[in-house]
Structure 1
């Protein structure tokens, strides 16, 4: 089915460019002076504090309690601080702030953004048979690339196993990060509230857990107001936190151990491991928590631009953490057995309660970064058809990455509260947290290495050094946290397994449906035969008939014509097509074509995983109608003899529009027969359960209920 691309804007009262999600490009904004741009960047960097760095800035609350050393010495603490400093510097500054943020997919970050970027570059589809054709966009301008594919890229193009491994790694990373979105709020708030037990020993752990759960519930109830609105409230809190904790750290350094910065020498790391052996290796399960939230820094790229995140991290978060950990370590060198509560005990008594309030508020804000990142990941998975359709609300008209999902929000709330109430021991949650952090970092290193080789064409020596350094470093961290697998470390694996099972079940069911539709699709000749039946009538009006495939028509069409004995005089077979790009240009949004039968047209609506289609039913009709009339008029420019026929066609289209319209979609289900294997029975039954409880794809166009029609049909499994 050939599609024609319309360059002109649809001739409707409201131009298409004003209906689609606005671009983040500066070209859409009025010109500013360099001074105003500089102030704008600084303001955005300040707002970034309140959303992006939650897990990082609150990590001092729970790093030291996870240390297994029974009687640590001065040299041990110097070694531990050296490990944390170089972990923050190499992973936080070098890997994420300097490299990962540059691997964005048109402004979107995170595991699936990297996966989408690689798939597009290597010309491999996310769903190999989805919609019956290549995963490439119909208009090649979105994929223009003059460079030849790399040797590694060719391996992925040829090998189905390699593509599946890449997909598995990406899904695992996404599932782990969602697990992070559950554990970060739990451990951050629990660790902060636990500070009330020092001045009031009578306060029980169960009371701390209950209070933490109440705070988290309140936070999740705020999510519907959007990231931008809450960031104005959160940024001052994080500003106070990142200012006060390093000040306390500086005070502690001068009071307890002024020579703490000699630990910056890597020599102390070597001596630490030589002295402690296996126990030193196990300590890495706690020190890895100093870099928590770094993946959210990357995943939240859709909420804030790269420069604001880098500015906030390099000049605020990083120095704040270096000084805070230095102060904690200086205190612990003089009080070596206080590491079970390493944060609150190093706070001077005169400022204890103000710091407790700030720490509690900061823990609430910390949770926001992973919650917002989770919303972004779920949205990407939904539009790429790897997750059951849930409601996704865009909470900002200028930031496409700012989304909110009610269903996901309340599920996260329930799981966070359950983790606190069931696994109230902060150490168990910390162990689970360590598994998530190290696994996600390792997966990002693998995907970034592929990006450097396949897309950036980085020098092999630099790629080798990058991979050797970070894969080795993070691999050692992963090996250390796996020793905690039975002490809470199993929690993220359980969460990831459930999520992966949901995603695989949805993918498997969708793939089987596409396979059936491709096998039983109706071509144009078959449609012409069906319409030639004298009993089939062409009724007035416009019918939008939705189909999942493009190389042919859905088998639901034949079922519909045979039973209804009719088809509208103007029928537009419509496909909603998600592309392997974050955003689709407005003029490439709607593509139309004739199908060779009078009154029968094809229409494809294209958008990426960071796009939305905020069109209500009437606007949708206006835009498609404008595209059709423009297409018919353009086709007449090349064949002057058909001008009278063109006028007749336009009149017929106008008449059908005045007669009304209806939106028809298939409501298909699998008929699971006796010959199905137990695997098919299980997976397809699970898919049908999810499909029957998820949202329809039509509400994305805001089609009124009175204009919808569903045609039921059974697909034989």
Structure 2
């Protein structure tokens, strides 16, 4: 009985989670009926045209939504995390490659012999190729970064097109309302939504977003069934793929160009995979397969049935097929659903930016955790207001939903193609899937999505350039920041202070050990930062207890609490090393005294443990602990470097441009210390010029 009881409890929990996912995961996907048909430039469409279009949408939803994402992609999680960067992390860890390390600092760590080594033995030829080729590794990083930039672009375009398409419904009963009024109302709704972001995702979603999306996914298919019965009961004959062949045979190039609109039926599918870290696999699959998928199939069938009888109403393919008696309730539900869909993509954008900042691929911005229980709920003020300005600008400048739809199509198709490429690598390198199945998967989805990409690329001049412009700017910022950080690390590794050199500096009679406990921050772990030598030579002192602290970001989602802080003794009196390890899904929310107490507790534990590992004088151990307590009571100081590049005349033009750009970014981004809640009175910044 207990077994059956626990199984029943597990099913109930999955069903409850599945219900909650409606308002978070599938926002963009379930609101797609609002803008799919208006995004297709149809010319004198016939019954066969509409049957072919519905067949294309049905098989797109089935193959990409059900087979690829719900069936395959959800299994490619990185310790419960999903999304483009999770796939990149998974590949890097299993091939033991990547610019960032994926190994913990403690060589005796239990993790270092488990998940961190999976796939490093008996690697495939492809894995060995990536390990040898720096070009291949950089290309893989570029693909992952492009995917992240496209997701951020999605966070700009989804709110714009969803809210604009929903509010455009007021023009059907009131044709005199101008499109400029609709654009203004949409902009006001989005501004209010962005201003509410600081209160957190849970509160902004009004705590009933699942009810809104539940009402939407129930009401629209019911209207679809009514439309099917009233207008074209035999609509489901279009499920036969031969209607697709007939459509392309008859329309040729025009039919291919229409794919730039039909691809929007699967928009938001990437969120199904990306939000895997917030909900388990079973709940997402249940919600999609038993709620979202049948709802979309019936809704699109109802729209198509209506349009077959009213072929010229495709410019407003959603609201025209709503019966007059329930028009306003559906309008209200659709507007609220569009707001929830916008919220889901805004939240996803915050998460992506947070991951990029944590991994040092993006300039530091303020990241606030808005929920004490849900670490995935984050908010960034700077990012929020930039998104708000861009969303409103997209609506006011490109108010025509078709132009925004073209831009949206580029984002949707490219993100899907990137996921297909990374999933193929996962199949070959990690899963060791039989080559026949890999070839079948790749040929079907790469060709299918490649055709979609080729179609949307024809819309570059008609709004499709928007995501490219956004992605180019973001990629340039990320590359500029990354390039500058790497050059700084290279300089520090070249000019690092060794322990022997530190001992020599401290042996100078003019250098004093002053009372206090100091956390001296460093970007490198193999040696000590050159700022230390600069500090000692000029200040002629070092604190009684000094801990050289490095924040280390690993290419894993999360680091276990007992692996978080790694302490080592550096062989000099009162001098220790500390590495604080974080994964890309870990919240960096240690605050001031709590942070220091965790570090000191780890140090005390290390001192006590080391006494058991090697013969030690108990009096020496006691003295060491007494010195630590005395230093703590004297005061705590956090020292970090404030470095700048000195760009000499001998530098090449590329270095001059990129390092100057990095300095602009670095001068305007936030300090790393406030992320740890360090009080102002405890901070000391040491300035130093690095010669480029």
TM-score (norm 2): 0.96
Contact 2:98 2:137 in 1 (8 A): no
Is 1:575–2:542 an aligned residue pair?
no
Give how far 1:40 is off. 2.5
Instruction: Give the secondary-structure state (helix, strand or coil) at the position aligned to 1:652.
Output: helix
**Greater CA drift, 398-407 or 560-569:** 398-407
Is 1:110–2:83 an aligned residue pair?
yes
The structure, 1 or 2, with the larger RCO (C-alpha pairs under 8 Å, 6+ apart) is 1
The aligned residue for residue 251 of structure 1 is 226
Give how far 1:230 is off. 4.1
Is 1:670–2:645 an aligned residue pair?
yes
Contact 1:68 1:279 in 2 (8 A): no
Give how far 1:68 is off. 2.6
- Change in CA separation of 1:225 and 1:39 when aligned onto 2, cut-off 3 Å: farther
Contact 1:300 1:372 in 2 (8 A): no
Tell me, in whole angstroms, the C-alpha distance in 2 between the residues paired with 1:694 and 1:66. Answer: 39
Q: How much is the aligned-residue C-alpha RMSD, in angstroms?
A: 1.5
Q: How does 1:575-614 map to 2 (within 5 A)?
A: 575-614=550-589
Instruction: Give the secondary-structure state (helix, strand or coil) at the position aligned to 1:670.
Output: strand
Tell me, in whole angstroms, the C-alpha distance in 1 between the residues paired with 2:102 and 2:224. Answer: 53
Query: What per-residue deviation string (whole Å, max 9, x for no partner) do you get for residues 567-619 of structure 1?
Result: 00111000111111111111111111111111111011111111123322222
The aligned residue for residue 81 of structure 1 is 54
- Matching residue within 4, 12, 19 for 1:39: 12
The aligned residue for residue 323 of structure 2 is 348
Contact 1:55 1:292 in 2 (8 A): yes
Tell me, in whole angstroms, the C-alpha distance in 2 between the residues paired with 1:143 and 1:398. Answer: 28
Tell me, in whole angstroms, the C-alpha distance in 1 between the residues paired with 2:580 and 2:366. Answer: 19
The aligned residue for residue 168 of structure 1 is 142
The aligned residue for residue 549 of structure 1 is 524
The aligned residue for residue 104 of structure 2 is 137
Q: How does 1:109-508 map to 2 (within 5 A)?
A: 109-127=82-100, 135-138=102-105, 139=109, 140-141=112-113, 142-145=115-118, 147-231=121-205, 232-508=207-483
The aligned residue for residue 13 of structure 1 is none
Query: What per-residue deviation string (whole Å, max 9, x for no partner) do you get for residues 470-515 of structure 1?
Result: 0000000000111111000000000000000000000000000000
Contact 1:303 1:402 in 2 (8 A): no
The aligned residue for residue 521 of structure 1 is 496
Instruction: Give the secondary-structure state (helix, strand or coil) at the position aligned to 1:377.
Output: helix
Tell me, in whole angstroms, the C-alpha distance in 2 between the residues paired with 1:512 and 1:291. Answer: 41
Query: What per-residue deviation string (whole Å, max 9, x for no partner) do you get for residues 250-273 of structure 1?
Result: 000000000000000001001110
**Greater CA drift, 86-95 or 678-687:** 678-687
Instruction: Give the secondary-structure state (helix, strand or coil) at the position aligned to 1:258.
Output: coil
Give how far 1:621 is off. 2.2
Runs (5+) with no aligned partner, structure 1: 1-30, 128-133
Instruction: Give the secondary-structure state (helix, strand or coil) at the position aligned to 1:171.
Output: helix
The aligned residue for residue 36 of structure 2 is 63
The aligned residue for residue 539 of structure 2 is 564
- Matching residue within 571, 586, 599 for 1:624: 599
Tell me, in whole angstroms, the C-alpha distance in 1 between the residues paired with 2:173 and 2:598. Answer: 65
TM-score (norm 1): 0.93
Instruction: Give the secondary-structure state (helix, strand or coil) at the position aligned to 1:379.
Output: helix
The aligned residue for residue 25 of structure 1 is none
Tell me, in whole angstroms, the C-alpha distance in 2 between the residues paired with 1:464 and 1:148. Answer: 22
Runs (5+) with no aligned partner, structure 2: none
Give how far 1:380 is off. 1.1
Instruction: Give the secondary-structure state (helix, strand or coil) at the position aligned to 1:360.
Output: helix
Query: What per-residue deviation string (whole Å, max 9, x for no partner) do you get for residues 506-564 of structure 1?
Result: 00000000000001000011111111111110001111000000110000001100111
Tell me, in whole angstroms, the C-alpha distance in 2 between the residues paired with 1:620 and 1:32. Answer: 42
Equivalenced residues, count: 681
Tell me, in whole angstroms, the C-alpha distance in 1 between the residues paired with 2:307 and 2:94. Answer: 50
Give how far 1:316 is off. 0.7
